[in-house]
Amino acid sequence: MRALIVEDNRDICENIAAYLERHSYILDFAYDGISAMHLALTNRFDIIVLDLMLPGMDGLRFCQKLRTEAGIETPVLMLTARDTLDDKLKGFEAGADDYLVKPFALQELHARLQALYKRGHRKTDSVLRVGDLTMNKSTLQVHRAGRHVDLSPACMKLLQRLMEAAPSVVSREELETLLWADEPPDSDALRSHLYKLRQAIDRPFDNPLIHTVHRIGYRIAENNITEASQ
């Protein structure tokens, strides 16, 4: 599971990291709301752990922008020392999915994250769609404009991650981790796999769907609003 931890207390971040990394989480950290928003918009996370009191942009505003402006439905677990009913209701109204009051047990945090992750995946449609491109996650069948598309296992993984994140950007680092965990090859093998994916998905058609976002990563969308595709 890949999680974004948004918390300005670095001691709390270190404790969370020490515990969750032992349970195979891949973690990214942000220490203020503005940095967190940038990460949320340019990466795909399975879950977000969000402190309420943050510099730059507080947790309520972050959650509201994430839901209403960016349209991102990633489950959010809100952390705060505020424990009144009114505070909790404001968190849920802003779009939080769960609420954990400080101080908390790391075991409880882990259990709540697992529950949110499973709940979110039960809601996920088995068929992903971007424009005229579809992928059935159960059968691993890919079609574009009604035409069957054959893909290698690596290209299938890349396409699924891009389609799940669409239209958000997926970083090169995340795609490399997806294919090779913590040991990416020295050569630019990711570029090679993406070339093959584009040959299968885009070359036979007039409208390219896979776009490069310079120095950040890749996205899949009908219209490339970030920059011209490469």
End residue of a domain, out of 77, 107, 123:
123
pLDDT at 160 over 80: yes
Read off the pLDDT of each residue in 196-202 and give the average, rounded to a whole number: 96
What is this structure's pTM? 0.57
* 116 and 23 share one domain: yes
Q: What is the mean pLDDT of the chain?
A: 88
In a domain, residue 43? The reply is yes
What does the pLDDT look like over 179-197, one tens digit per residue? 998 777 876 899 999 999 9
* 68 and 133 share one domain: no
* 201 and 141 share one domain: yes
In a domain, residue 45? The reply is yes
Residue 122 pLDDT level (bands cut at 50, 70, 90) = low
Domain span including residue 163: 127-220
What does the pLDDT look like over 124-141, one tens digit per residue? 557 888 989 999 887 889
d(CA 203, CA 177): 26
Contact call for residues 50 and 76 (beta carbons, < 8 A)? yes
pLDDT at 230 (0 to 100): 37
* 19 and 74 share one domain: yes
In a domain, residue 53? The reply is yes
pLDDT at 226 over 90: no
Q: How many domains does the chain have?
A: 2
In a domain, residue 136? The reply is yes
* 154 and 112 share one domain: no
Residue 56 buriedness (CB in 10 A; 0-12 / 13-18 / 19+): middle
What CATH number did the domain enclosing 62 receive?
3.40.50.2300
- 152: which residues sit within 8 A by CB, 6+ positions away? 193, 196
d(CA 123, CA 156): 21
What does the pLDDT look like over 52-68, one tens digit per residue? 999 999 999 999 998 88
pLDDT at 227 over 80: no
pLDDT at 206 (0 to 100): 87
* 110 and 142 share one domain: no
Of 58-62, 115-119, 223-227, least confident by mean pLDDT is 223-227
* 149 and 207 share one domain: yes
End residue of a domain, out of 81, 104, 123:
123
* 131 and 200 share one domain: yes
* 117 and 136 share one domain: no
Residue 229 pLDDT level (bands cut at 50, 70, 90) = very low
d(CA 196, CA 116): 35
In a domain, residue 229? The reply is no
pLDDT at 220 (0 to 100): 94
pLDDT at 211 (0 to 100): 94
Which of the pair, 158 or 140, is modelled with greater confidence? 158
pLDDT at 149 (0 to 100): 94
In a domain, residue 115? The reply is yes
Residue 79 buriedness (CB in 10 A; 0-12 / 13-18 / 19+): buried
* 92 and 139 share one domain: no
In a domain, residue 36? The reply is yes
* 91 and 177 share one domain: no
What CATH number did the domain enclosing 171 receive?
1.10.10.10
In a domain, residue 230? The reply is no
Q: What is the percent of the chain with per-residue pLDDT over 70, rounded to a whole number?
A: 93
End residue of a domain, out of 123, 147, 169:
123
pLDDT at 32 (0 to 100): 95
* 141 and 185 share one domain: yes
